Amino acid sequence: MALRSEATARQMRLAVELRRLRDAAGLTTREAATLLGVSAPQISQIEAALAGVSEKRLRRLAANYACSDAELIEALVAMATDRTRGWWEDYRGLLPTQFLDLSELEHYASYRWDVDFLHIPGLLQTADYARALFSYVNPEFSEGEVERWVEHRMKRKVIIERPEPIPYATLIHEAALRIRAGDRAATRAQLARILELSEADHVTVRVIPFELEGFGGAGSTMVYAGGPVSKLDTVVRDGLNGPVFIDAEAQLSRYRTLFRRVEAVSLDLDRSRDFIHRLAKEL
């Protein structure tokens, strides 16, 4: 089987988890290969996401590594055997790979949390708001390029708009709500869209007001995507060249705690809706 020239973030995550299981078992790649009946380079290729792994081999690896976490094993099997070609593949070669990886991550997420301080979270954005952002941040983009990015962002919202949406909770700072990325009409429409979505049972919107005292969490902007099991959760943060994916358990634990801390000081659901409604009336 030919080796991959480029692995997706999901394929890389599978490879990382298999390496973690081997490390936890205290085995070298050569020892793992001997137990599986393959060569050491084959194990290295699997753990570098250069090669896939069959369900049979994955289960044998898990047994060799004495992994007793049945839910994790089933989740890894699903990752290894799923051949879904998602809608985001239509943008391969048109948008940076990291943004396709983000779409794929969202597609498989069991829930999602957002914390935003300067922009409306992508899943809540209207097309006009997204268009204003992309046009401003990327003045070199042609109209066609801007529309491609807007289209991609609008399609990502399927995870909270489909018949069986995932639970979605977002904490938005007052600054993001007040900054007018577009004109007055676009801003009013954006706030109205947030209020509309906040009425859905699976969507939770809470506001972090300026007046909050003793708040030092303004650097905690993040996307937290829940996996099929907690060990497969992922945090996404903005990097210089696009989204950065974080999956180390210690960091995941830190971000879970951080989200709960920010959530605890945010306005409750009713006060958040009232707050956004008042902002919209001011426009």
Per-residue pLDDT tens for 2-61?
788 889 999 999 999 999 999 999 999 999 999 999 999 999 999 999 999 999 999 999
Q: Which residues contact 41 (CB under 8 A, 6 or more apart)?
A: none
Do 99 and 48 lie in a common domain?
A: no
Do 165 and 248 lie in a common domain?
A: yes
CATH number, position 64 = 1.10.260.40
Do 41 and 99 lie in a common domain?
A: no
The reply to whether 4 falls in a domain is no
The fraction of the chain above a pLDDT of 90, given in percent, is: 92
- Residue that wins the pLDDT comparison between 248 and 215: 248
Contact at 8 Å (CB) between 12 and 49? yes
Q: Domain range spanning residue 75?
A: 9-81
Domain boundary (62, 81, 100) is at: 81
Does 240 score more than 80 pLDDT? Answer: no
CATH number, position 179 = 3.30.870
Do 24 and 47 lie in a common domain?
A: yes
Do 42 and 100 lie in a common domain?
A: no
Domain boundary (49, 66, 81) is at: 81
Do 62 and 193 lie in a common domain?
A: no
The reply to whether 169 falls in a domain is yes
Domain boundary (81, 112, 139) is at: 81
Do 48 and 159 lie in a common domain?
A: no
Report how far residue 92's alpha carbon sits from residue 101's, in angstroms, rounded to the nearest whole number: 10
The chain-wide mean pLDDT, for the chain, equals 95
Return the minimum-mean-pLDDT range out of 169-173, 187-191, 242-246, 266-270.
Answer: 242-246
Do 75 and 91 lie in a common domain?
A: no
Distances (CA, A) of 279 to 169, 173, 213: 21, 13, 21
Do 170 and 273 lie in a common domain?
A: yes
Q: What is the pTM of this model?
A: 0.94
Does 241 score more than 90 pLDDT? Answer: no
Do 137 and 77 lie in a common domain?
A: no
Q: Which residues contact 157 (CB under 8 A, 6 or more apart)?
A: 122, 123
Do 63 and 146 lie in a common domain?
A: no
The reply to whether 1 falls in a domain is no
Do 103 and 233 lie in a common domain?
A: yes
Query: Element (H or E) spanning 9, and its range?
Result: helix 9-25
The reply to whether 3 falls in a domain is no
Q: With cut-offs at 50, 70 and 90, classify the pLDDT of residue 192.
A: very high
Query: Element (H or E) spanning 243, and its range?
Result: strand 242-246
Domain count, the chain: 2
